Amino acid sequence: MEWSIQEIAKKAGTTSRTLRYYGELGLLEPSRIGANGYRYYDQAALVRLQRILLLRELGLSLPAVGEVLEGQRDTSAALRTHLLLLEQERERIGRQIAAVKTTLHKTEKGEALMAEEVLDGFDHTRYEEEVSRRWGRDAYEQGDRWWRSLSAEEKRDFMDRQAAIARDFGRAAHDGLAADSDEVQEIARRHVAWLSITTAPSKEYVTGLGQMYVDDPRFTATYDQHGEGTAVLVRDAMKTYAERNL
């Protein structure tokens, strides 16, 4: 049994472009390429993709994913390890749900809140290693201190601003606007202004971050949920904005 690249991308909640990129990196080769040039994936490729997606959700970079796949040739053993990690994550999410329920109940009843109850299962440091690897330990610690200093309302406002920017990029991609158009460049300006809240973005930083939105499937999925091709538009818009203004 096999599936086309479009079928696999749809079922995995990703894009054909991402799967092709995995192939270019040697992470996920198609089981065959048809006479029409279409890529097809068999059950072994399907299992390998599942492993890639699981490792990405754990925060591993693509090079790290490749190293893990190379070192874990026993598929059954690797899947058992993934299963254990997923069960641990399920347990953590269960604690988060219980914490929110407790907070809601006590808030409605006017009862006193306990910090250990409210914050149980929440760990904002889960991406500490990846951030430190990408941009240095100082970048993580600076961002961590800044995030801790915000009130709940400020944190919501920060995330809402980013969500609005992503939606506007999605609409621009849907409308077929060019990355260097005035409308898209205004969205890019807002995006860079949003980034400026936590750091002083340089030309290299903005350009590199835009490229990561395309290279990293987690970011690609975040933007492309507003319409396929949005992440590419964001990358190109940020590159243009950086070259013109930074």
Q: How far is CA 129 from CA 32, 83, 108, 132, 141, in A?
A: 37, 22, 38, 5, 11
Among 189, 175, 165, residue whose Cα is nearest residue 245: 189
pLDDT in tens, 145-159: 666 676 777 777 777
Among 98, 48, 44, 100, residue whose Cα is nearest residue 69: 48
Mean pLDDT for 54-74 is: 74
Strand, helix or coil at 29?
coil
**From CA 138, how far away is CA 121, in angstroms rounded?**
26
For the cut 80, the answer to whether the pLDDT of residue 31 exceeds it is yes
Mean pLDDT for 38-46 is: 91
pLDDT in tens, 89-133: 677 677 777 777 877 777 777 777 665 565 565 554 554 454 445
Mean pLDDT for 173-202 is: 89
Where exactly are the structural domains of the chain?
2-71, 74-123, 150-245
What residue has token string 């999410």?
93
DSSP 77-126: HHHHHHHHHHHHHHHHHHHHHHHHHHHHHHHHHTPPP-HHHHSTT--TTT
Lowest-pLDDT choice from 62-76, 120-134, 142-156, 200-214:
120-134
Q: Domain 2-71, CATH 3.40.50.300 — does that match?
A: no
Which fold would CATH assign to domain 150-245?
Answer: Globin-like (1.10.490)
Q: What is the pLDDT of residue 127?
A: 47
For the cut 70, the answer to whether the pLDDT of residue 187 exceeds it is yes
Max mean pLDDT among 42-51, 85-94, 206-215 falls in 42-51
Structure tokens at 56: 């990405």
Q: Which residues contact 219 (CB under 8 A, 6 or more apart)?
A: 212, 213, 231
Q: At what angle do helices 5-12 and 16-24 cross, to 10 degrees?
A: 110
The structure's pTM equals 0.46
Mean pLDDT for 25-45 is: 91
For residue 197, how far is the Cα from the chain centroid? 20
**From CA 156, how far away is CA 134, in angstroms rounded?**
25
